[in-house]
C-alpha cells in the first residue's frame, strides 16, 4: 500500500500537466491500484510482478519521449541550415518595412503589357503612392515617397502592379520585395525568419535569396 500511495502522488502531478504521455501514466496507475485492490488475498501478486509491469510501462514511455526528442532535433537541424540565411536578403510577397531606406522590388508585369503602374498601400490598405514603371523592368527601387513626392513615415507597405494594354487591365498582381533576414527562429514546428519592423515569415514562403550588395537598378 505504501507503493500505491507514492505512485498516487506522482500521478496527481502528471495529471496537472495534461500531456498525453502523463495521462497514459495516470491510467496505468489507476489500473495498477484496481488490480491490487481486487487481487486474491490468499494468493496476492508478488511485488516483483508489479515491478515488471511498471518497468514495461516506463520503457514504452521513455521510447515515446525519445521519439519526440528526435523529431525536435530534426526541426532544429533545419534551423541550423537556415542559419546561413541570416544577413542575406529574402525575396518575399506580402509587404516590407520601410525605415527610410529604399526597398528593392521585383515587378513581374503581364506579358504584352504596354503600361504598368506600381501601387503602394500602407498598413491600413490605403493607396499612398501610384507611379508608372517600365513594362520591361524586372527590378525597381522604391524610394518611400508618396504620389506628391513627400517622404512617407516608417511602417509596413505592400506593393502591387497593374498591367494594361490599350487602356484595358490585363492583370493585377502583388510585387515581391527583397528584405534583410535578421534571425531564424524555430517555433511551433515552423522555422520563421525575423525581418525588419518585427515582421515574421515562414521560411517556406521565401522565393529567392541574394547578398545585400546586389542592389537593383531603377
CATH class of 86-210: mainly beta
SS3 assignment, position 129 = strand
pLDDT of 97: 96
| Residue 28 cell numbers, joined | 496505468
For the chain, what are the domain ranges?
A: 2-36+49-83, 86-210
From CA 198, how far away is CA 196, in angstroms rounded?
Answer: 6
User: What band does 14 get if pLDDT is binned at 50, 70 and 90?
Assistant: very low
Specify whether the CB–CB gap between 55 and 135 falls below 8 A: no
pLDDT of 91: 94
Query: Quick check: 186 pLDDT over 70?
Result: yes
pLDDT of 20: 53
| Percent with pLDDT over 90 in the chain | 38
Query: Quick check: 61 pLDDT over 80?
Result: no
Residue-wise pLDDT for 150-164, tens only, equals: 999 999 999 999 999
Residue-wise pLDDT for 34-60, tens only, equals: 777 777 676 766 666 666 666 666 666
From CA 183, how far away is CA 84, in angstroms rounded?
Answer: 10
Task: Quote the Cα angle for 179-180-186, to 5°.
Answer: 105
What average pLDDT does the segment 129-151 reach?
93
From CA 181, how far away is CA 185, in angstroms rounded?
Answer: 11
Sign of CA dihedral 205, 208, 211, 216: negative
Mean per-residue pLDDT of the chain = 78
Amino acid at each position: 500500500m505504501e507503493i500505491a500511495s507514492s505512485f498516487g502522488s506522482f500521478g496527481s502531478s502528471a495529471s496537472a500537466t495534461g500531456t498525453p504521455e502523463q495521462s497514459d501514466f495516470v491510467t496505468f496507475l489507476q489500473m495498477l491500484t484496481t488490480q491490487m485492490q481486487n487481487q486474491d488475498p490468499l494468493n496476492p501478486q508478488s511485488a516483483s510482478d508489479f515491478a515488471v509491469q511498471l518497468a514495461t510501462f516506463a520503457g514504452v514511455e521513455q521510447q515515446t519521449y525519445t521519439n519526440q526528442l528526435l523529431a525536435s532535433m530534426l526541426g532544429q537541424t533545419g534551423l541550423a541550415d537556415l542559419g546561413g540565411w541570416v544577413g542575406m536578403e529574402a525575396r518575399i510577397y506580402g509587404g516590407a518595412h520601410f525605415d527610410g531606406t529604399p526597398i528593392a522590388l521585383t515587378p513581374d508585369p503581364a506579358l504584352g503589357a504596354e503600361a504598368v503602374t506600381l501601387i503602394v498601400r500602407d498598413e491600413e490598405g490605403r493607396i499612398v503612392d501610384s507611379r508608372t514603371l517600365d513594362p520591361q523592368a524586372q527590378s525597381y527601387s522604391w524610394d518611400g515617397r508618396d504620389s506628391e513626392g513627400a517622404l512617407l513615415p516608417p511602417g509596413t507597405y505592400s506593393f502591387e502592379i497593374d498591367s494594361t494594354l490599350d487602356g484595358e487591365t490585363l492583370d493585377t498582381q502583388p510585387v515581391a520585395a527583397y528584405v534583410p533576414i535578421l534571425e531564424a527562429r524555430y517555433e511551433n514546428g515552423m522555422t520563421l525568419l525575423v525581418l525588419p519592423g518585427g515582421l515574421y515569415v515562414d521560411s517556406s514562403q521565401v522565393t529567392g535569396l541574394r547578398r545585400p550588395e546586389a542592389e537593383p537598378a531603377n
